[in-house]
Amino acid sequence: MPKLNLPSVRIPANDSASSPTPPAHFHLARRLAALVLLGGNSRAASHAGGRLILSWRSPIRASAAGLRRVASVSQNYTAVSWNAQKRAYDLALATGMLLYITTFLALGAWLHPTATAETLLIRALGSCAFLSLNVILCIGPLCRLDARFLPLLYNRRHLGVATFLLGLAHGAFSLFQFHALGDADPFISLLTANRNFASLADFPFQPLGFFALIILFLMAATSHDFWLRNLTPSVWKLLHMLVYFAYALLVAHVTLGLLQSERSPWLVAAMVASIALVLTLHLAATLKEKKIDQAAHEKDAGNFVAACRVNEIPEKFAKVISVHGERVAIFKYDGKISALSNVCRHQNGPLGEGKIIDGCVTCPWHGYQYLPETGASPPPFTEKVCTFRTKLVDGLIWLDPTPLPPGTPVEASKVQTA
């Protein structure tokens, strides 16, 4: 058993485990999770409240047994709010945005010497926010198409909050310049100054950006897992799916704004290209997922379905199949086969795209872990997913499509070796 290194966990002097429910800050700390080790790439990990966090130096050294040992000592953890990877990501993100805005202002002043500094700043902030939102919407399908993009998904929340702050700054400068210098209230002026709804060229595009900013605010304000836990994953996910509605509003906001103030074909081309890229990536990811859902599976007399052959599954990875409308992840590890629901309890992440790390199925999105033979997270965590019975016949894996209750132990099928 490898040595467990817990640099981020602090055991208090008053070691008490009398309460079966960990404190609130413990739940917040454990959400700082790691990306799964994919494609054989080495990553390093430390612990924050029991969840894995990558630090990019050496192979992961953590185990379910180690987590249980920590839980047996104490359930009182000091919340860890950051890690080296997130610091590096945020530094790169802030530097990139600052360089973009600075370059935009410099080129804008050179190409349009009569433009005011406020106008250039409004355009720089707005274009940077819109570009960032395009990147956010591309990350999801890119991860489904290629696992090498998963580190971007791990840090996508920070990009989302930064995008909202850019949009807020853009909106504040715009509101001041165009609506705060008159007699009417700036917000009333924003919503009522232009009523040319019948004219495409003069359509009131500014309120569209305002409503999109409200959606981005709601998403940024509820981005922390505190809200995910209290709103429930389904409600939280529905709220954050509004990003597509916000994107549609911003596409209309930017497009109609260009019609009223710009005539450059390059801007139009860039706008069309960004929309086409987002749509193409989502379509490609949808088609890939559709192949899994439409695959047919043979049945035997016991209602088991033929899933795949053992040699189709790489060691410690999974094969995902769809049975009765539910996706199941079939893992091969240590000469055994286990099957569990493909849906992570955190944000519905695809467990079958993750890997077994030190005995635990690890979600590739945020590092949530489950024991493959029970579908339960190692103590002190309480998340559970459904398990499925399997059997092996001449190297072919057969799966009972009826899910067992979450956390139900199922004996793993043994792989016969030559």
Instruction: Render pLDDT for 347-399 as a digit per residue (tens, 0 to 9).
Output: 888 999 889 988 999 998 888 899 999 999 998 888 999 999 999 988 899 99
151-170 in b/e form (b: 16+ CB < 10 A) is bbbbbbbebbbbbbbbbbbb
- pLDDT of amino acid 22: 40
DSSP H helical segments within 112-155, as ranges? 117-145, 150-154
Yes or no: say if 308 and 325 are a contact pair by the CB < 8 Å rule. Answer: no
- pLDDT of amino acid 4: 39
pLDDT band at 70 (very low <50, low <70, confident <90, very high): very low
Residue type for 97, please? Answer: M
* Domain 305-414 = CATH 1.10.3720.10: no
Distance of CA 133 to the CA centre of its chain: 14
Q: What residues form DSSP beta bridges with 355? A: 362
pLDDT band at 417 (very low <50, low <70, confident <90, very high): low
Annotated domain spans of the chain: 84-292, 305-414
**pLDDT, averaged across the chain:** 79
Q: How far apart are CA 194 and CA 207, in angstroms?
A: 10
Q: When comparing pLDDT for 176 and 228, which is higher? A: 176
Interacting residues of 260 by C-beta distance below 8 A, sequence separation 6+ = 201, 202, 205
Instruction: Render pLDDT for 260-289 as a digit per residue (tens, 0 to 9).
Output: 777 778 888 888 999 999 999 999 999 988
pLDDT band at 234 (very low <50, low <70, confident <90, very high): confident
294 burial class (0-12, 13-18, 19+ CB within 10 angstroms)? Answer: exposed
- pLDDT of amino acid 121: 95
Q: How far apart are CA 344 and CA 326, in angstroms?
A: 13
Model confidence, pTM? 0.73
Q: How many helices (H) and strands (E) does the chain have?
A: 12, 13
Q: What is the CATH class of 84-292?
A: mainly alpha
Instruction: Render pLDDT for 384-395 as a digit per residue (tens, 0 to 9).
Output: 999 999 999 888
- pLDDT of amino acid 248: 96
Residue 416 has pLDDT above 90, yes or no: no
- pLDDT of amino acid 360: 93
CA atoms within 13 Å, Cβ hemisphere of 271 = 20
Interacting residues of 276 by C-beta distance below 8 A, sequence separation 6+ = none
Q: When comparing pLDDT for 271 and 73, which is higher? A: 271
- pLDDT of amino acid 418: 53
- Beta strand 355-357 pairing with 45-48: unpaired
